Amino acid sequence: MLLKHVEGFLTHLRVEKSASQLTLISYKTDLIQFFDFLAGYYHINREELTVSSLNHLAVREYISNMQKKELSRATIARKLAALRSYVKYLCRENVLEGNPIANISTPKQEKKLPRFLYTMEIDMLLDAPDTTKQAGMRDKAILETLYAAGVRVSELVGINLSDLDLDEEWIIIRGKGSKERLAPLGRKAKAALINYIVNGRPYYLFKSKAANDALFLNKSGTRISARSIRNIINKYVEQLAINHKVSPHTLRHSFATHLLNGGADLRAVQELLGHVKLSTTQIYTHLTRDRIKAIHNESHPRR
């Protein structure tokens, strides 16, 4: 039975791979969708699927089905990654004698350059909150921290007060796989955080009347969510009439791009972003071509 091994697989991911709750939910959803496809493919109930149902031909049909539905290449790749991981687990547990999908290739990914904001746009966005109000103090601190530390939104919402060292201007960030790294803060982010912690956060904390170590709080006085962060950014983007989509990740992309444009070492940016592979960071080098061309124009004697 294929289905009965899913919970064991998820436990394996959580315990041995330190997978986040979001990853666990995504993998479970992707696997259930695959099982639903297989059930339809073999004209049986999902619960009747056996390990012999999982073979090279069936997975090729699954990929073809996703392509017919016009799913993006990134989505197909993610669903295949979940399936590959599950099959490896089944092999490790001796449920499968061999990997039946080892020769299945993932559709080639489209290389999309990450969207970023120019320095002037960043300044406009970070200065948009009204810091005479508690909500503005909080929003300012959120935006400054996203840009100063280059953190993912999931990392931002997980920051606790105890993770801050404002004297040394560092934050402890818990990234993917529960890996910790230190992220530096600039003076502007530090000032925004101090103002929020002293004058804004107590207002939100009073709403819950309960001890809470979360740095950023919502209107109920509990830890703010990633969705709320996105809504906050959308509010200011609309207010400023910025004519393209801006997400929390846009600030992270801007952070990396501006560092590289300023001459930062690629490996240093990799460390700051918390990337495991340098190749993940290298995509930002495509965004610095204008800067490289400008240096060439200014410096080459034959220009």
Instruction: Check residue 111 and give its pLDDT.
Output: 59
Active site residue 252: yes
Active site residue 275: yes
- Each of the 303 residues of the chain gets a pLDDT tens digit; together they read 788 999 999 999 988 888 878 889 999 999 999 999 999 999 999 999 998 899 999 999 999 999 999 888 889 989 999 999 999 999 999 999 889 998 888 777 665 666 888 889 999 999 999 999 999 999 999 999 999 998 989 999 999 999 999 999 999 998 776 678 888 898 999 999 999 999 999 999 887 777 789 999 999 999 999 999 999 999 999 999 888 889 998 998 898 888 888 888 778 888 788 777 776 667 666 655 555 566 566 666 665
- The angle subtended at Cα 84 by Cα 153 and Cα 174, nearest 5°, is 25
Active site residue 209: no
Residue 105 lies in a domain: no
Q: Is 88 in the same domain as 167?
A: no
Q: Is 8 in the same domain as 55?
A: yes
- 302 by DSSP, 3-state: which? coil
The continuous run of DSSP H or E covering 174 comes out as: strand 170-174
d(CA 139, CA 156): 12
Residue 240 lies in a domain: yes
Q: Is 124 in the same domain as 246?
A: yes
Count Cβ neighbours within 10 Å for each residue of 22-57 and write b for 16 or more, e otherwise.
ebbebbbebbeebbebbbeeeeeeeeebeeebbeee
Query: Domain boundary at 77, 92, 107, which?
Result: 92
* Nearest of 34, 40, 100 to residue 66 by alpha carbon: 34
Residue 106 lies in a domain: no
Residues 6+ apart with CB under 8 A from 130: 136
User: How many angstroms separate the Cα of 264 from the Cα of each of 60, 152, 178, 267?
Assistant: 44, 20, 26, 9
Q: Is 32 in the same domain as 148?
A: no
Active site residue 284: yes
Which CATH number belongs to the domain containing residue 128 in this structure? 1.10.443.10
Active-site residue among 5, 152, 190, 201? 152
Q: Is 128 in the same domain as 197?
A: yes
Q: Is 255 in the same domain as 148?
A: yes
Q: Is 150 in the same domain as 286?
A: yes
- The angle subtended at Cα 77 by Cα 280 and Cα 255, nearest 5°, is 30
Structural domain including 88 reads: 3-92
Residue 181 lies in a domain: yes
Active-site residue among 147, 196, 204, 284? 284
Query: Domain boundary at 57, 92, 127, which?
Result: 92
Active site residue 249: yes
Instruction: Check residue 206 and give its pLDDT.
Output: 86
Residue 107 lies in a domain: no
Q: Is 152 in the same domain as 212?
A: yes
Tally of structural domains, the chain: 2
In the structure encoding, which two tokens stand for residue 36, read together? 């639903």
Q: Is 55 in the same domain as 150?
A: no
Helices (H), 158-288: 187-195, 201-208, 226-240, 248-261, 266-273, 278-282
Active-site residue among 138, 252, 253, 258? 252
Q: Is 139 in the same domain as 266?
A: yes
Q: Is 123 in the same domain as 88?
A: no
- Environment class of residue 240 by beta-carbon count within 10 Å: exposed (0-12), middle (13-18) or buried (19+)? middle
Instruction: Check residue 268 and give its pLDDT.
Output: 82
The continuous run of DSSP H or E covering 125 comes out as: helix 119-126
Active-site residue among 46, 181, 249, 291? 249
Residue 247 lies in a domain: yes
Backbone angles phi, psi at 223, to 5 degrees: -55, 130
User: How many angstroms separate the Cα of 72 from the Cα of each of 109, 160, 244?
Assistant: 9, 36, 21
Which CATH number belongs to the domain containing residue 53 in this structure? 1.10.150
User: How many angstroms separate the Cα of 289 from the Cα of each of 12, 99, 112, 272?
Assistant: 43, 43, 15, 21
Query: Domain boundary at 35, 57, 92, which?
Result: 92
Instruction: Check residue 10 and give its pLDDT.
Output: 93
Instruction: Check residue 260 and give its pLDDT.
Output: 82
The continuous run of DSSP H or E covering 61 comes out as: helix 56-68
Instruction: Check residue 257 and give its pLDDT.
Output: 86
Residue 11 lies in a domain: yes
Q: Is 164 in the same domain as 269?
A: yes
Active-site residue among 176, 223, 230, 235? 176
Active site residue 223: no
In the structure encoding, which two tokens stand for residue 3, read together? 């289905």
Residue 234 lies in a domain: yes
